[in-house]
Amino acid sequence: MPDMRRREFITLIGGAAAAWPLAARAQQKAMPVVGYLSSLGQAVSVQFDDAFRRGLSQMGYVEGQNVSIEYRWISDSYDPLPAMAAYLVQRQVAVICALGPPAVLAAKAATTSIPIVFVTGADPIKFGFVASFNQPGGNITGIWIVSTVLAEKRLQLMRELLPKAMPDSRATNRSTASA
């Protein structure tokens, strides 16, 4: 009889040990991974990176706690962007955040299934990121920062309102000479 209990005990412990990792994995949700693909170098991208993390935090996602971020920045050229985008796709990130036209194009070429959210100053329709503003289509959407278009329009309006206004180079020279 003691042998029987010993065998039952070993079987029980062995079964529990085998089932425990499965139960532990079932209880833990995998942390989602966000791919961050930037057309800027890391040193230049600091402001965008901080704003990105703050935005995620405001939505309840804190890096290292309930979301992981895979950062990819360029160094000297855009050439590595396609390989960086392919790595993020291979990594099976939940979403790719693409900053700048070269990063958006690389991400779009790398996947048609992973959602891509972009931030760019380039016209997304003109560059072929989306089909239209109302129905972007595919797996891509984002924000178009139209500051360059607005700056051009403001300059055009100023020229129309003040057609003869030209800076007087002599006044500029005098003010710098007296300073």
**Stronger pLDDT, 120 or 10, i.e. the higher one:** 120
Class of domain 33-150: alpha beta
The sign of the dihedral angle between the CA atoms of 59, 120, 50, 109 is positive
Write out pLDDT tens, residues 1-59.
455 555 555 555 555 555 555 545 555 678 999 999 999 998 888 888 999 999 999 99
Tell me which DSSP letter residue 73 carries: E
Q: CA–CA separation, 78 vs 39, rounded Å? A: 7
Q: At residue 179, does pLDDT exceed 60?
A: no
Residue 144 has pLDDT above 70, yes or no: yes
- Residue spans per domain, the chain: 33-150
Taking 60 as the threshold, does the pLDDT of residue 116 lie above it? yes
Task: For the chain, report the end-to-end CA distance as a whole number of angstroms.
Answer: 105
> In angstroms, rounded to a whole number, what is the distance separating the alpha carbons of residues 43 and 73?
9
Residue pair 120/99 in contact (Cβ under 8 Å)? The answer is yes
Distance CA 143, CA 147 (A): 12
- According to the model, what pLDDT value does residue 69 have? 95
Computed on alpha carbons and rounded to an integer, the radius of gyration of the chain in Å comes to 27
In the chain, the percentage of residues whose pLDDT exceeds 70 is 74
The encoded tokens of residue 78 equal: 């855009």
Cα separation, 114 vs 137, in Å, equals 13
Tokens of 109: 């070429």
Across the chain, where does the E strand assignment appear?
33-41, 68-74, 95-99, 116-120, 140-144
Q: Are the C-beta atoms of residues 122 and 101 closer than 8 Å to each other? A: yes
Instruction: Identify the CA nearest to 74 among candidates 95, 52, 55, 99.
Output: 99
DSSP secondary structure of 116-172: EEEEESS-TTTTTS-S-SS---TTEEEEE--HHHHHHHHHHHHHHHSTT----HHHH
> What local confidence, expressed as pLDDT, does residue 44 receive?
87
pLDDT score recorded for residue 104: 95
